[in-house]
Each structure stands twice: as C-alpha cells, then as structure tokens.
C-alpha cells in the first residue's frame, strides 16, 4: 500500500543540500502546496470532523522496561491529517502521528535498536517526516524518513543515551507542522530502568496559531503571521482546550498514596512551558528529560521543585506524591495560558482526608504557637 521512494523525494525537495539545516530546508515556502493552502482557511461554520478526539489519553503509554539485555523494536508511525474540534464549535485541521496529540510514546532501554517505519497516509496532502532527538544521525532521521502521501520510509537506529526526548516533523515548514500536532516523546530508560511508581501520565504541550480569536466559533485556519510573531490563539495540553480537565475529558483519577510520574513533552514550536502541579510539587524531577547513565537516579534528580521550565523541543519527567485527597491542576504557570488560552489537565486523588497534613475545614480552635498576620 505504501511505496518507499526516499531518494526520488529527497532530490525533488532539495533535502540534504547546502540549503538544508537540521533536517529542514532553510528557504521554507509559505505553504507546503496549493492543495493544503486551499483547505486551511477559516470560515464562520465548522468543517466536518474526521475524528471525535485528537487528545491522547494520558494514561495510555507503554509499560516500563523490564528486560535486561538489548532488544530490537519494530515501530510504525502513521501520519494522519485530520479535522477535529479544539473546543466545542471550533474546528481545525490538525497533523498528527497516529491520529493523536502528542504522538504515541516510544519506550525503549538504553542500547536497544529501533526499526522505524514512517507511513504517510494516502489521504494526506503534504510530505512528512520525523526527527528523533534520541538519534545520532543526520536530522535525527528526518531526511531518511521523508515521504509523500501514500509512501513510506524506514530507518534503523540504536538508542545510545538515556532520557526523555521529543520527536517531531521536520519538513521545511516544521514550525507549522509541529504547531498543528506533529510531535511526541521517545523515552530511553537507563540500562537499570526507572524506579517503580504506581501511575504514569503522558502529556504534550503546544501552541496553535489561528486566523480567529480564541473561542470564536467556526473553522479556524492557520495564521503564519501570528506564528512568526509568537502570538498563539491557543496553548494546549494534548491538542484540545482543557483536554483532560473536568470541563472536557477528565479528570484523570489516582488513589491516595499513589506515586505518580508525569512525562511532559513541549512541542512548541515557540513557547516554553512553566509546568506546575497546583496543590502539589515535583518531589523528584529531571530537567529537560535528562537521565544519568551511571549515577543513582534519586541522587541525580532535583528535589521538591515547584515549577519546571521546559523549553520547546524538550521534555521533563516529574514525580508527585499523593498523601491527601485533592484535585491537582497541571498548568503552565504563565497563567493567562490557563485562563485565556485553554491549557489545563486535572488529576483527582481519591481517598480519605488526613487533617494532620491538610484540613480544609480548620476553625482555628486548636491553634498553638505564634500567630502571623
């Protein structure tokens, strides 16, 4: 069904020449082709949706590494261009890995080999590829995987260094493709694996730049000028407004006492995340997703970090403890992005109150010691 035509396509695009930087051509056209330019314009009415959901389920991620010797993994990523709702009454033409944002997590052990197939669905309008930040190789594999609609390309790589790394599309208009949803995470666990936790969650932050104001009903086209000015219409977790908050598909539920590990990939393409769990703290955190090779993981981690800076094109790993029942709000602490732009996920901790830790109904009758006012 898919043809492999990498050499022919690379020649036509000029990829791999002096005009190519980091897997993408320097002189990016305004649009990828006329077919997409005609499609991607706004209107007062919504477009027919191809899918009810682009928001990846944050609980749907691969199991932790439980093997001791290097393995080879066959991984297929299928590019799907879909129309879906950002919020009720607002549609947008997304570009995705596997129909979800962020794309599926790829999880391997340091030293493992990945045999990757990138499929560009025949129904798509544009060429696509993938750049893995976990790869030693030209463009992170972008040139090797570039494929036109209806075509596929393959590459093989060894995951030689541990950490949480972004993967993303890296064609000439890479900022547009990433903004529209083309990013995900590859987690390379150290050879001894990660410490056991009770729950894991996987989230992706990105911006959408559209030709209408936030919340305006109808179909939103893409606004290249707003992207150049870094003035997003929406800033989102998992592709939809409040995707996994109570107002939409959430909250995610965990049990009191669970240790919860959160993986965040910031696709950007332009804005750093200031990732904070309201009502909690990152008890152990790994900045930029960095993991040590030979050091003790617990000793290597930052401790009790309130807010993690996550640049575009990077990741973070953070662990939360859950000693009391509460609703944890996962936010970008540039809070206008929460209040105005649509970024929020929520985690409900189910359990029994422990008033020694937190008493929401305290009346002051047992107060002892100095008072502050």
Q: Per residue in 142-184, pLDDT tens?
A: 999 999 999 999 999 999 999 999 999 999 999 999 999 999 9
pLDDT at residue 306 greater than cutoff 90: yes
Residues 231-278: tens digit of each pLDDT: 999 999 999 999 999 999 999 999 999 999 999 999 999 999 999 999
Q: What is the pLDDT of residue 3?
A: 67
Residues 72-110: tens digit of each pLDDT: 999 999 999 999 999 999 999 999 999 999 999 999 999
Contacts of 326 (CB under 8 A, 6+ apart): 279, 280, 348, 349, 358
pTM of the predicted model as reported, rounded to 2 decimal places: 0.90
Mean per-residue pLDDT for 122-128?
96
Q: d(Cα 330, Cα 105) in Å, to the nearest integer?
A: 20
pLDDT at residue 27 greater than cutoff 80: no
pLDDT at residue 30 greater than cutoff 80: no
Give me the domains of the chain, ranges plus CATH numbers. 47-189 (2.60.40.420), 199-350 (2.60.40.420)
Nearest alpha-carbon partner for 223 in 208, 206, 241, 238: 208
Structure tokens at 236: 């989102």
Q: Are 297 and 195 within 8 A, CB to CB? A: yes
Mean per-residue pLDDT for 326-330?
98
pLDDT at residue 8 greater than cutoff 50: no
Number of Cβ atoms within 10 Å of the Cβ of 315: 24
pLDDT at residue 14 greater than cutoff 50: no
Of the pLDDT bands very low, low, confident and very high (cuts 50, 70, 90), residue 298 is confident
pLDDT at residue 18 greater than cutoff 60: no
Which range, of 38-42, 126-130, 206-210, 297-301, averages the lowest pLDDT? Answer: 38-42
Of the pLDDT bands very low, low, confident and very high (cuts 50, 70, 90), residue 32 is low
Q: Are 96 and 182 within 8 A, CB to CB? A: yes
> Which contiguous run of DSSP H or E holds residue 177?
helix 174-179
Angle made by CA atoms 253, 256, 262, in degrees to the nearest 5: 55
Q: What is the pLDDT of residue 299?
A: 85
Which range, of 21-25, 81-85, 126-130, 136-140, averages the lowest pLDDT? Answer: 21-25
pLDDT at residue 289 greater than cutoff 60: yes
Total residues found in the chain within this entry: 373
Q: What is the pLDDT of residue 5?
A: 55
């Amino acid at each position: 069904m898919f043809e492999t035509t990498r050499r022919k396509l690379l020649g036509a695009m000029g990829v791999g020449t002096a005009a190519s930087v980091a897997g993408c051509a320097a002189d990016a056209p305004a649009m990828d082709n006329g077919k997409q330019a005609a499609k991607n314009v706004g209107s007062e009415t919504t477009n027919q949706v191809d899918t009810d959901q682009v928001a990846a389920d944050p609980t749907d991620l691969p199991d932790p590494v439980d093997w001791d010797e290097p393995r080879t993994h066959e991984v297929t990523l299928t590019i799907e261009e879909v129309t879906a709702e950002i919020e009720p009454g607002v549609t947008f033409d997304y570009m995705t890995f596997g129909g979800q944002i962020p794309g599926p997590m790829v999880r391997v052990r340091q030293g493992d080999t990945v045999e990757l197939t990138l499929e560009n669905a025949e129904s798509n309008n544009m060429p696509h590829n993938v750049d893995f930040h976990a790869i030693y190789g030209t463009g992170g594999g972008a040139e090797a995987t570039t494929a036109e609609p209806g075509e596929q390309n393959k590459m093989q790589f060894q995951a030689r260094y541990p950490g949480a790394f972004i993967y993303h599309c890296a064609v000439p208009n890479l900022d547009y493709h990433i903004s529209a949803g083309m990013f995900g995470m590859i987690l390379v666990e150290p050879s001894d694996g990660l410490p056991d936790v009770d729950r894991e969650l996987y989230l992706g932050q990105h911006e959408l730049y559209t030709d209408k104001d936030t919340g305006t009903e109808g179909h939103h086209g893409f606004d290249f000028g707003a992207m150049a000015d870094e003035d997003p219409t929406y800033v989102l977790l998992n592709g939809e407004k409040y995707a996994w908050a109570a107002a939409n598909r959430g909250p995610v539920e965990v049990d009191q006492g669970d240790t919860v590990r959160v993986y965040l990939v910031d696709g950007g393409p332009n804005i750093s995340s200031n990732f904070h769990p309201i009502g909690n703290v990152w008890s152990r955190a790994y900045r930029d997703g960095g993991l040590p090779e030979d050091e003790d993981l617990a000793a290597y981690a930052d401790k009790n970090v309130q807010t993690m800076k996550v640049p575009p094109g990077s990741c973070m790993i953070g662990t939360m403890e859950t000693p009391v029942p509460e609703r944890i709000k996962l936010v970008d602490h540039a809070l206008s992005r929460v209040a105005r732009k649509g970024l929020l996920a929520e985690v409900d901790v189910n359990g029994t109150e422990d008033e020694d830790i937190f008493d929401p109904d305290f009346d002051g009758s047992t107060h002892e010691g100095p008072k502050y006012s």
